[in-house]
Amino acid sequence: MNGGGGGGGGGEVGFVGGGGEEEEMDEDGAREAGKEQVVLMWGYLPGVSPQRSPLLGPVPVRLPPAAAGDAWRDVCGGGCGFAMAISESGKLLTWGSTDDMGQSYVTAGKHEETPEAFPLPSDVAIARADAGWAHCVAITDEGVVYTWGWKECVPTGRVIADQASVGTLEKDERQSAIANNQVSPRSQVSRTSSGAASGPSESRGTEESTKRRRLSSAKQGNDSSTSGDENLSAPPCVVTFNTGVKITAVAAGGRHTLALSDFGQVWGWGYGGEGQLGLGSRIRTVSSPHPIPCIESTSYGKDRLSAMKGNKNAEGQINKVTGNRVTAIACGGRHSVVVTDSGALLAFGWGLYGQCGQGNTDDVLSPTCVSAILGVKMQDVAAGLWHTVSISADGDVYSFGGNQFGQLGIGSDQAETIPKLVDAPSLENKNARSVSCGARHSAIITDEGEVFCWGWNKYGQLGLGDSMDRNVPCIVPVDEYHLLNVSCGWWHTLVLAESPT
């Protein structure tokens, strides 16, 4: 998710190029000559503070002494209780985790207040990365994908369906076709559980907290050479795709992962019990990457007309192709969203809070157009545990889904099942150019290099100096810094900033 990440966290991690000092500042936020890039953090990162107290406002992150001569390249959010960023040399730096944080420990390593390079092969240079509840995924400059963390999130080449399911997923690596009779009953996971994004003091009694305790009791984690049920984590491994596939973007959710190829094809693996893998079924686990038919399977039937009221262009566009390729991806806790090159937004997965934007609370098993905004060209998207936030090519912000903590930014705590324009006075004459979601909070960067946050703030993840929730976007005071990118972890926020000369 970026997030929520949102599950993951959740959404696609934006890449900020960082070449030599001769570069000039461009519209995409590349580095200007002579200006230093810094990372600022706020929110809950237990290993950063001896008392594990939240950081209520922006705090600079220092590069470790071992990184002398290196520099910050981009931020990647992080998962539960840990942060991730990428250095200019391609190192994936992690920090904020503690040994007894269970999933944080096995996913991010024993890196506390000082960022350290995560132990990936020394000859790889990481270009992008993302983290889910307890797994991470990263891409090298060559488009090779590494993933690690919970074993159920790491591809094994096998497909494991719910025991009570009917039919199987055909293992045709070239076609990855789904058998027509593939049906799996609803997951045993409670749909009303706070689930994967429960905060440090809120996760008791959930499925994820049980797993966290199990992980905490199996401290050998990545360091263990033994195997068995007690060790639930997997070390970094290369994800195998079809020959010739080059991955350019990744997104990690609660327990599933999406990857985007340079040809605009989406691949997915992990848990799919609510349809978040977009394969048209409730198959419980897909343990090898499979193509998700985002373009081909999109349809606009009469059953969606009711969701398109007020959209002048919607009815005339019902049968039009939504694009030729996918350009952006994001994973929520148990749902997924993508943007096509025509600006269409497609969603699939868990729908209990309306996070799929279909005007109802049903799960969506295949990529389905969010038809209420067909007349608006979308540019980027992010997803939290229960909500989705997208930005248009014109810089407008739209949000839908769960809103218990104001994470939609619409001035209320009312859930929305179709996208609603975030029409806040604070965003008047502002154009959003990047977006990210934590478990229950949201953030955008504007063209002017400002960051706005809103939603859940119990752990200071909004960076506003207190722990009060906000239901409208609020600008984060970052003094003289010009912000280039934002990436939310589950309970924290990171920004890549440029300091003055």
SS3 for 379-443 is EEEEECCCEEEEEECCCCEEEEECCCCCCCCCCCCCCEEEEEECCCHHHCCCCEEEEEECCCEEE
In the chain, % of residues over pLDDT 70: 71
What is the tens place of the pLDDT at every residue in 177-202? 332 222 222 222 223 333 333 344 44
In the chain, % of residues over pLDDT 90: 57
Q: What is the CATH number of the domain that holds 439?
A: 2.130.10.30
**Confidence check: pLDDT of 379 > 90:** yes
CA distance 461 to 438: 9
What is the tens place of the pLDDT at every residue in 87-119? 999 999 999 987 655 555 568 877 888 999 998
**Confidence check: pLDDT of 354 > 80:** yes
**Confidence check: pLDDT of 53 > 50:** yes
pLDDT at site 81: 86
Higher pLDDT, 255 or 7: 255
CA distance 288 to 229: 20
Residues 41-80, buried b or exposed e (16+ Cβ, 10 A)? bbbbbbbbeeeeebbbbbbebebbeebeebebbbbbbbbb
**Confidence check: pLDDT of 345 > 70:** yes
Domain count, the chain: 1
**Confidence check: pLDDT of 170 > 50:** no
**Confidence check: pLDDT of 346 > 70:** yes
Higher pLDDT, 274 or 189: 274
Q: Does residue 296 sit within a domain?
A: yes
The two beta strands, 158-160 and 135-140, are unpaired
pLDDT at site 152: 87
pLDDT at site 399: 98
**Confidence check: pLDDT of 483 > 60:** yes
Give me the mean pLDDT over the 429-454 stretch. Answer: 97
**Confidence check: pLDDT of 315 > 80:** no
pLDDT at site 108: 81
Beta strands in 98-194 (DSSP E): 116-117, 126-131, 135-140, 145-150, 158-160
**Confidence check: pLDDT of 227 > 50:** no
Query: Do residues 272 and 341 lie in contact, with contact meaning Cβ atoms separated by under 8 Å?
Result: no
Q: Does residue 195 sit within a domain?
A: no
Query: Do residues 471 and 51 lie in contact, with contact meaning Cβ atoms separated by under 8 Å?
Result: no
pLDDT at site 276: 97
Confidence of residue 164 (pLDDT cuts 50, 70, 90): very low
Q: Please give the backbone phi and psi of residue 427, each rounded to the nearest 5 degrees, phi first.
A: -100, 5
Query: Do residues 237 and 146 lie in contact, with contact meaning Cβ atoms separated by under 8 Å?
Result: yes
Confidence of residue 321 (pLDDT cuts 50, 70, 90): low
**Confidence check: pLDDT of 67 > 90:** no
Q: Does residue 200 sit within a domain?
A: no
Give me the mean pLDDT over the 485-497 stretch. Answer: 96
Lowest-pLDDT range, 61-65, 424-428, 466-470? Answer: 61-65
DSSP of 312-347, one letter per residue? TTTGGGTTS---SSEEEEEE-SSEEEEEETTS-EEE
Higher pLDDT, 34 or 349: 349
Confidence of residue 233 (pLDDT cuts 50, 70, 90): confident
Lowest-pLDDT range, 196-210, 238-252, 360-374? Answer: 196-210
pLDDT at site 98: 74
420: domain range? 3-189+206-498
pTM (predicted TM-score): 0.79
Q: Does residue 406 sit within a domain?
A: yes
Q: Does residue 134 sit within a domain?
A: yes
Confidence of residue 318 (pLDDT cuts 50, 70, 90): very low
Token output for 220: 């050998």
SS3 350: coil
Confidence of residue 325 (pLDDT cuts 50, 70, 90): very high
Q: Does residue 326 sit within a domain?
A: yes
Q: How many helices (H) and strands (E) does the chain have?
A: 3, 31
Q: Which of 97-101, 196-200, 229-233, 410-414 has the highest mean pLDDT?
A: 410-414
Burial class (CB in 10 A: 0-12, 13-18, 19+), 200: middle
**Confidence check: pLDDT of 168 > 80:** no
Helix (H) or strand (E) holding 493: strand 492-498
Q: Does residue 196 sit within a domain?
A: no
Give me the mean pLDDT over the 126-149 stretch. Answer: 94
Q: Does residue 42 sit within a domain?
A: yes
pLDDT at site 111: 84
Give the number of other Cβ atoms within 10 Å of residue 152's Cβ.
Answer: 19
Confidence of residue 35 (pLDDT cuts 50, 70, 90): confident
pLDDT at site 230: 41
**Confidence check: pLDDT of 475 > 90:** yes
